[in-house]
Amino acid sequence: MRAVSALPPLVVRLSHALVALCLLTLLATPALAAPPSSFSAAKRLAESEIYVDQDRTFYCGCAFDFDKGPDLASCGYRIRKQPKRAARIEWEHVMPAYDFGRQRQCWQEGGRRHCRANDPVFRQAEADLVNLVPSVGEVNGDRSNMRYGMATSADAYQYGQCPAKVDFPERTFEPPAAVRGDIARTYWYMRDTYGIQIGRQQQQLFQAWAKADPVSAWERERNRRIARIQGSGNPYVEGDTSNGQREGKTEEKTVEKTVEKGEGKNEAKTAERSSAEAPAWTKGRDSSPLDPERAAAAAFSCTPRKTCSKMRSCEEARYHLTQCGNARLDGDGDGTPCEALCG
């Protein structure tokens, strides 16, 4: 029987080249996007992939280096009590772990450690890059799980020229105006993704904040970077959703419902967004003149904290309810403050 003749040399060379090309293609193809599996992994990714070319802390705008820590002199920061924590960068959960953890059964059974060990949904929420920002360590520690709002008590502390305030008597943390919209949009994302409840007063406050501080260029870029890693970003950054609701009638899946193979629906509509001027240290933020609504609000102040009898107009009462978070003005919780003025 005659032996089969060998393949021509040219065919052999082409076959080898094709195999090599396939291997190179496989090696060059990026891995599928996947969220970090733990808080530790999220912090490493945030440093190396999200904030690799950024050098300003979230609340205070201090120049920083991940190895050397924050340059407190660059932002006029005044240490309150903890010099060691003030000398390092920490990763702040915009929505505290307490807020997205306490509504879960694992938190009732053993707190954060128990959730981290036993609840995959909590672990994903804790490691979600959308909710992580770099902060001066002392500010992160002081804020802890305080709610956001306006710090109005006489004992409220401001960190020197850093425009953030902590109000221990009122358990309130007041963020700078330049990042209040970022905070609102992050809370809405966490609410929708993990089924977290946000109170009516907090929602009204966030709507006002998002309108006054629209999405900036850096916020969009940060969202794109996060989406490349996690597979998706924050839809409240991607679209015009300054009222804290998705555009049109949408079908949403929370992480919890995805795990359970269930789905939920949310009906919402969009609101018109206005723009605001931002401090010079906030890179890439959009700025434009004040709109009439914000120009009128500029005449009001959250200090001192007022009752309805001290309000001069319905506009002032609404400002104190939505901007200052003074829920006492809306006793029946219908969203209308000081019924005698605004009813």
Residues 195-206: pLDDT tens digits? Answer: 998 989 999 999
DSSP secondary-structure letter at 72? G
Confidence of residue 251 (pLDDT cuts 50, 70, 90): very low
In the block, which residue shows the tokens 């992160």?
A: 140
Can you say whether the dihedral through the CA atoms of 89, 146, 255, 108 is positive or negative?
positive
For 101-147, write each residue's pLDDT tens digit: 998 999 989 999 999 999 999 999 999 999 999 999 999 999 999 99
| AA letter at 261 | K
Note the pLDDT of residue 271.
33
Note the pLDDT of residue 336.
72
Do residues 335 and 204 touch, judged by C-beta distance below 8 A?
Answer: yes
Residue 329 has pLDDT above 70, yes or no: yes
- Average pLDDT of span 187-193: 95
Note the pLDDT of residue 175.
97
Note the pLDDT of residue 86.
96
Note the pLDDT of residue 267.
31
Q: Is the pTM of this model over 0.85?
A: no
Residue 67 vs residue 300, higher pLDDT: 67
Confidence of residue 263 (pLDDT cuts 50, 70, 90): very low
Residue 41 has pLDDT above 90, yes or no: yes
Can you say whether the dihedral through the CA atoms of 309, 313, 316, 317 is positive or negative?
positive
DSSP secondary-structure letter at 315? H
Query: What is the full DSSP assignment across 19-34?
Result: HHHHHHHHHHSPPPP-
Cis peptide before 35 (omega within 30 of 0): no
Note the pLDDT of residue 275.
35
Q: Count other C-beta atoms under 10 Å from residue 217's C-beta.
A: 11
